[in-house]
């Protein structure tokens, strides 16, 4: 299989592969590396390249499928605010915790966060993923009201409220955001 790539020679000691967000491949190599050595390296890494290129393509397709028109986006944000408020109140009561205000945002790298004052931030895009994952994010943030870290004690709090949380945590990891 012939792999197309952009080759960049630089003052480095090893060959490295990078897959760009658009799925294109970049190979960085020491200045005098012969082409045949680069081709051998790519052949050795072919399975890794295919697996990760397919993963990025899948993520890009997911992003396109979640592209919303402005009116749809506003409706999704309104729905997120309503659902997350209801879920937060329900789980907070079950878990015996309190919280401050809830803010709905559009974060690029986070699904949610909890401040030391107990204020909760949620990503509105939670309404675009399975509802059980949204529940997990709510439980995760509320667990920070008891444990402000990610220690084993923190995950015991999460597990008490949601015994199957690992399934939803894995879903997030497989879809590009660890949590």
Which whole-number Å values give the CA distances from 115 to 30, 88, 168, in the listed order?
46, 15, 23
> Considering the entire predicted model, what is its pTM?
0.65
Please give the Cα distance from 87 to 67 (Å, whole number).
25
13 conformational bin, left if phi > 0, alpha if psi -120 to 50, beta if neither = alpha
Question: Mean pLDDT by 10-residue block, N- to C-terminus, for the chain (179 residues)?
Answer: 86 92 90 93 93 82 68 89 97 97 90 95 92 96 96 97 95 73
Residue 122 per-residue DSSP state: E
The reported pLDDT for the residue numbered 113 is 95
SS3 31: coil
User: Which phi and psi (to 5°) does residue 30 adopt?
Assistant: -60, 150
pLDDT value at residue 123: 94
The predicted structure's pLDDT at residue 112: 94
Q: How far apart are CA 30 and CA 147, in angstroms?
A: 47
């Amino acid at each position: 299989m012939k792999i197309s790539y952009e080759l960049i020679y630089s003052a480095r000691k090893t060959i490295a592969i990078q897959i760009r967000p658009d799925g294109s491949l970049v190979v960085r190599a020491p200045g005098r590396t012969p082409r045949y050595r680069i081709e051998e390296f790519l052949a050795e890494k072919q399975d890794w390249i295919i697996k990760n290129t397919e993963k990025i393509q899948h993520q890009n397709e997911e992003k396109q499928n979640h592209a919303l028109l402005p009116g749809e986006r506003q409706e999704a944000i309104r729905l997120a605010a309503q659902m997350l408020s209801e879920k937060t109140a329900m789980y907070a009561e079950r878990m015996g915790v309190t919280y401050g205000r809830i803010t709905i945002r559009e974060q690029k790298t986070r699904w949610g966060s909890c401040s030391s004052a107990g204020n909760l931030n949620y990503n509105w895009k939670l309404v675009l993923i399975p509802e059980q994952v949204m529940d997990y994010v709510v439980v995760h943030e509320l667990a920070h009201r008891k444990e402000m870290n990610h220690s084993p004690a923190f995950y015991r709090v999460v597990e008490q409220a949601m015994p199957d949380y690992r399934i939803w945590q894995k879903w997030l990891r497989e879809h590009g955001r660890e949590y």
